[in-house]
Amino acid sequence: MSTIFSKIIQKEIPAKIVYEDDEVLAFEDISPQAPVHILIIPKKEIPTLNHLQAEDAVLMGKLFLVAQKIAKEQGFAEQGYRTVFNCNEDGGQTVDHIHLHLLAGRSLTWPPG
């Protein structure tokens, strides 16, 4: 089932895009939870972590490489950052298109609330 992220991929609704290639799109979160809050998504529609298949392994690894690239480019790689996938209700997932949150720019607490 398509989500609002599919519309962002198709450029049907606007987003502040920070990275794009054939397989991956990264854009600023509309409701940032830190000074830097970027969502890194595969263009392939995968609803949740529970839907991942073995064939998606390289693609998922690529999401983390894009996170690393953005962290280096934006200058917070050394200071630090957090990457998070939320899954389903208890994980706090609200958009059923798998997405890697990239958070940075302040000291992040642990454990999460």
Instruction: Please identify which residue in 2, 20, 21, 30 interacts with ligand AMP, judged by CB under 6 A.
Output: 30
Least Å from the CB of residue 89 to ligand AMP: 11
Integer-rounded Cα Rg, in Å, for the chain is 14
DSSP one-letter code for 11: T
Which of the stretches 62-70, 71-79, 89-97, 104-112 binds ligand AMP when contact is defined by CB under 6 A? 89-97
Which of the stretches 26-34, 51-59, 67-75, 102-110 binds ligand AMP when contact is defined by CB under 6 A? 26-34
- List the one residue out of 36, 44, 33, 20 whose CA is nearest residue 94: 33
- List the one residue out of 81, 95, 93 whose CA is nearest residue 9: 95
Instruction: Please identify which residue in 50, 53, 94, 107 interacts with ligand AMP, judged by CB under 6 A.
Output: 94
On whether the CB atoms of residues 40 and 26 are closer than 8 A, the answer is yes
86 sits near ligand AMP (criterion: CB under 6 A): yes
> Has 99 been annotated as catalytic?
yes
Helices then strands, counting H and E runs in the chain, come out as 3, 5
Locus of tokens 């798998």 = 98
Least Å from the CB of residue 78 to ligand AMP: 25
4 sits near ligand AMP (criterion: CB under 6 A): yes
